[in-house]
Structure 1
């Protein structure tokens, strides 16, 4: 229970990776504010140490207001997990400006707005841990997903720059870059990939699995374990790092 008394915020915390991280944080004593677009989804998983709060990370006013409410109720956010994101592939010549802007607004602007709103509390407390959930697409680019890859490259750049800004403090900034994880996002992408590639659902799943070096989907709990390491005792010198979780070297 080494996180007792800490207030953590996890965007996209109602399902998948975000939920696994939120549950792990709560298990170690933190009070976790989980956010997402649908309050009913958050309410289904909220509990004694997890409070759901509907929030659209693309909306600056909503992010600022909701995080202020969370801080008023549970104290300054000391652990910020910017996890909310969308993952969808589309060839560049088929990418509309609307599609591009929504990808950036969710994956990159959303992280920027969330971290910015949480920073004052960390600065005042003199301690903070920021984790961004990026992707292997942010390291090497993902075929057929230029908008998604660009958003995740930007997220890694933001994380690294912040780590430089706060060197020498008790605040750290790190990015986790998973391969394909067994989450609802993968389930939704099976149909999309099958349609684009003209293959069966099983073949579409195999295409994703084969991108992971160990040839299996990653469990959300594996990502949560890495997150707990980054916020746990002895983590103060892990800063500005891009941690690949993809079953092998990328």
Structure 2
């Protein structure tokens, strides 16, 4: 949805994910030019490779939206070292690498927009998502530091913090919780919706609204914008 929104606004959109098939599907729905660049962003060499291909085709990246993410849903004492590290790599280290690669060209041009899709889990603690919560707290801290460093350069850096969104990631979360607890998936999904005062899951286009605002405004920077139906008031 974010890619479609930016494409409709006139941006050329480069897409990256591990699944080439998913990239092809998304690219086929965009209204403007696109590049599909399969990559695993947790691979230290992948970021430079993706940026090199974009720059060769179109020049420096002007708008960077960092939306890769996943969650491990289990009690903290059950999280393995491998699961902990994988959450940090995907949700925190991969955005850091991409930001580090994009910022110099943005500063040189005097304009850039960076938006990290974080989570309300980056602002509060919830049971059974310790590794995810820690990584998202870190992502918001990264955004705040980068925005402070870049405040006078024309480059803005923000986080968008969704609550529970109606996406495949939430579907997977529901399935894992059901497997662990034995509760019906429909009941779990409803319980997630009920955590939000609006009593429903957030729609993907509502997250895209916040991303688009961050791209449009030069005065919004260093923020972690909640899109959560009023769950976290800040």
TM (norm. structure 1) is 0.89
Match of 2:177 in 1: 193
Distance 1:117 1:102 in 2: 21
Given the alignment of the two structures, is residue 129 of structure 1 paired with residue 113 of structure 2, yes or no? yes
Which of these residues, 113, 116, 136, is aligned with residue 100 of structure 2? Answer: 116
Unaligned runs of 5+ in 2: none
SS in 2 for 1:223: helix
Match of 2:226 in 1: 244
Give yes or no for contact 2:72–2:83 (8 Å, CA) kept in 1. no
Match of 1:221 in 2: 205
Where in structure 2 are the equivalents of 1:21-32 lying within 5 Å? Answer: 21-32=2-13
Which of these residues, 8, 11, 14, is aligned with residue 33 of structure 1? Answer: 14
SS in 1 for 2:103: helix
Higher mean alpha-carbon deviation, 192-201 vs 137-146, is at: 192-201
Match of 2:24 in 1: 43
Give yes or no for contact 1:172–1:240 (8 Å, CA) kept in 2. yes
Q: Summarize deviations over 1:100-137 as a string: whole Å, max 9, x none.
A: 01111001011111111111221221100000000010
User: Could you tell me how far 1:196 is from its partner in structure 2?
Assistant: 2.3
SS in 2 for 1:81: strand
Distance 1:110 1:90 in 2: 23
Higher mean alpha-carbon deviation, 193-202 vs 239-248, is at: 193-202
Given the alignment of the two structures, is residue 66 of structure 1 paired with residue 50 of structure 2, yes or no? yes
Give yes or no for contact 2:195–2:231 (8 Å, CA) kept in 1. no
The CA RMSD measured in Å over matched residues stands at: 1.1
Q: For this pair of structures, how many residues does the alignment match?
A: 229
